[in-house]
Copies of this chain bind each other. A is one copy, B any other.
Amino acid sequence: MSRYQAMSKDELSQELTALRQAYHEKKALGLSLDMSRGKPSAEQLDLSMGMLDVLKSTDSLVTKSGIDARNYGQLEGLPEARQLFAELMGIEPDEVFICGNSSLNMMYDTVSRGMVFGFPGGTKPWGKQQKLKFLCPAPGYDRHFAICEVFGIQMITIPMTPEGPDMNLVESWVNNDDTVKGIWCVPQYSNPEGITYSDETVRRFANLKPAAGDFRIFWDNAYCVHHLTDQPAHLLNLMDECKKVGSEDMVIMFSSTSKISFSGAGVAAIGCSRTNMAALERVIAMQVISFDKMNQLRHVRFFKNLDGIKAHMEKHRALLKPRFDMVTTTLWNELGDLEIANWTNPKGGYFISLDTMDGCATRVVSLCREAGVKLTDAGATFPYGKDPRDRNIRIAPSYPTLDELQKATDILCLCVKLATVEKLLEE
């Protein structure tokens, strides 16, 4: 039982008065702070500025493979860039398709292509089929869910466990319902909980026996090198596991450098089997002549290889770790004794996931906003923006300065207390 739950109504009322007084003082500061999106700080972006000097007017833009990066052509990307992403994604270079600057755009396009063209193994395009469902492990990434929503795909919430999505449920849906066409996965340092799928979970994914031949696992490995500790989480490679059982056509992997180099100007890639690749090349050829190969070349020349990326990510970690520590330490100091909330201590990724008492998240986010602290909307981490228990809040500590972050987290803790006491007094 929490300290607040142990209080009498009178004690709670006194606490409420004190908290309201503190809240009004904070509000009077007129702050404007943002912990809503996983946006790198300016200091993080500074780490990649050297990339601007690897392609100068005096440099040759013809690659080692003999391609002029400035001109049309090479739809699937520079061989050198495919090699770099192959290392990053743990697959073969000819399983990599390098695209524009946004992996989200690639996921949107992949669903869109499913609707219009369908996928190998299917009988007709998704758009021509009566019912479509996607499995949505939740809490999860709001923008994944938004894609389903705009395409009219029904979302099925799958609870997350410390090992990844509840695989009993996943297997039951995928293996029995041929209207289930996809599942959204952030397998390493998941958004927002920072969970890395266990070996067992990955193996069970590889061994799915989908009722629908055009079912695809959307494997959004956005945080594959985004460690916050010196003991990186280990994620089994899904493609390797699939190849063992011949199920590799079931997987589409997504990766990008948005949180490695520049968020607005990185490079994104799709990883998939050669069968899927052939289908992809055919349809992307209708859409675009080629993607930006100069930016691909910039990334190749700057990072060189996976070791280069890993060394670079150590610098990100040095900037991010203190921010995560400040938030979790403050949460602990302010809320630890009260036992009115739980939160994650992620080993990587971009978020801290905070669970309030049931029914308090919307109120907390709204109180924070009024006091000048912007958080991701409550409910955003669930399909249709509706958290059934109204308790999950996603905290994004990367963008603010440490000073701003301290102020914002103080206000957040205060708002959690305030909303909890309000809630208890209602009951």
A interface list, Cβ under 8 A from B: 37, 39-40, 42, 45, 48-53, 55-57, 59, 61, 68-73, 100-102, 104-105, 108-109, 112, 115-117, 127, 143, 146-147, 150-151, 258, 262-265, 283, 286-295
CA separation between A116 and B105, bound complex, in Å?
Answer: 16
Are B294 and A262 in contact, CB atoms less than 8 angstroms apart? yes
How many Å from the CB of A64 to the closest CB on chain B? 17
Are B264 and A71 in contact, CB atoms less than 8 angstroms apart? yes
Q: Give 15 new A-B contacts, CB below 8 A, not counting A39-B73, A73-B264.
A: A42-B68, A51-B57, A52-B56, A70-B265, A71-B263, A72-B264, A102-B289, A102-B291, A108-B286, A112-B112, A115-B116, A116-B150, A116-B151, A264-B293, A292-B292
Q: Is the interface of A mostly helix, strand, loop or mixed?
A: loop
The 3 A-B pairs with the shortest beta carbon distances in the complex, nearest first, are A265-B294, A49-B57, A105-B288
How many Å from the CB of A14 to the closest CB on chain B? 44
Closest residue of B by beta carbon distance from A291 = B101
- What is the count of identical protomers in the complex? 2
List, sorted by A's number, 8 A–B pairs whose CB atoms are closer than 8 Å. Answer: A45-B71, A70-B262, A100-B291, A102-B289, A108-B286, A264-B291, A264-B294, A292-B292
Are B68 and A57 in contact, CB atoms less than 8 angstroms apart? no
How many Å from the CB of A354 to the closest CB on chain B? 22
Are B288 and A104 in contact, CB atoms less than 8 angstroms apart? yes
Are A72 and B292 in contact, CB atoms less than 8 angstroms apart? no
B53, B102, B287, B295: the one within 8 Å of A105 (CB): B287
How many Å from the CB of A385 to the closest CB on chain B? 13
Closest residue of B by beta carbon distance from A147 = B286
B56, B117, B292: the one within 8 Å of A53 (CB): B56
Closest residue of B by beta carbon distance from A266 = B292
Are A102 and B147 in contact, CB atoms less than 8 angstroms apart? no
Are A265 and B288 in contact, CB atoms less than 8 angstroms apart? no
Cβ contacts under 8 Å, A48 to chain B: 70
Closest residue of B by beta carbon distance from A290 = B264
Cβ contacts under 8 Å, A50 to chain B: 57
Cβ contacts under 8 Å, A37 to chain B: 72
B45, B112, B295: the one within 8 Å of A265 (CB): B295
CA separation between A39 and B68, bound complex, in Å?
Answer: 12
Cβ contacts under 8 Å, A146 to chain B: 286
Closest residue of B by beta carbon distance from A105 = B288
Cβ contacts under 8 Å, A293 to chain B: 264-265
Cβ contacts under 8 Å, A263 to chain B: 70-72, 289-290
Are B68 and A45 in contact, CB atoms less than 8 angstroms apart? yes
B59, B104, B150: the one within 8 Å of A117 (CB): B150
Are A108 and B264 in contact, CB atoms less than 8 angstroms apart? no
Cβ contacts under 8 Å, A291 to chain B: 100-102, 264
Q: With A52-B56, A59-B52, A112-B116 as known contacts, state yes or no: A102 contacts B262, CB within 8 Å.
A: no
Closest residue of B by beta carbon distance from A115 = B116
Closest residue of B by beta carbon distance from A297 = B265
Are B104 and A101 in contact, CB atoms less than 8 angstroms apart? no
Closest residue of B by beta carbon distance from A117 = B150
Cβ contacts under 8 Å, A73 to chain B: 39, 264
CA separation between A50 and B295, bound complex, in Å?
Answer: 16
CA separation between A262 and B290, bound complex, in Å?
Answer: 12
CA separation between A40 and B73, bound complex, in Å?
Answer: 12
Cβ contacts under 8 Å, A150 to chain B: 116-117, 283, 286
Cβ contacts under 8 Å, A57 to chain B: 49-53
B69, B101, B117, B265: the one within 8 Å of A264 (CB): B69
Closest residue of B by beta carbon distance from A58 = B49
Are B71 and A102 in contact, CB atoms less than 8 angstroms apart? no
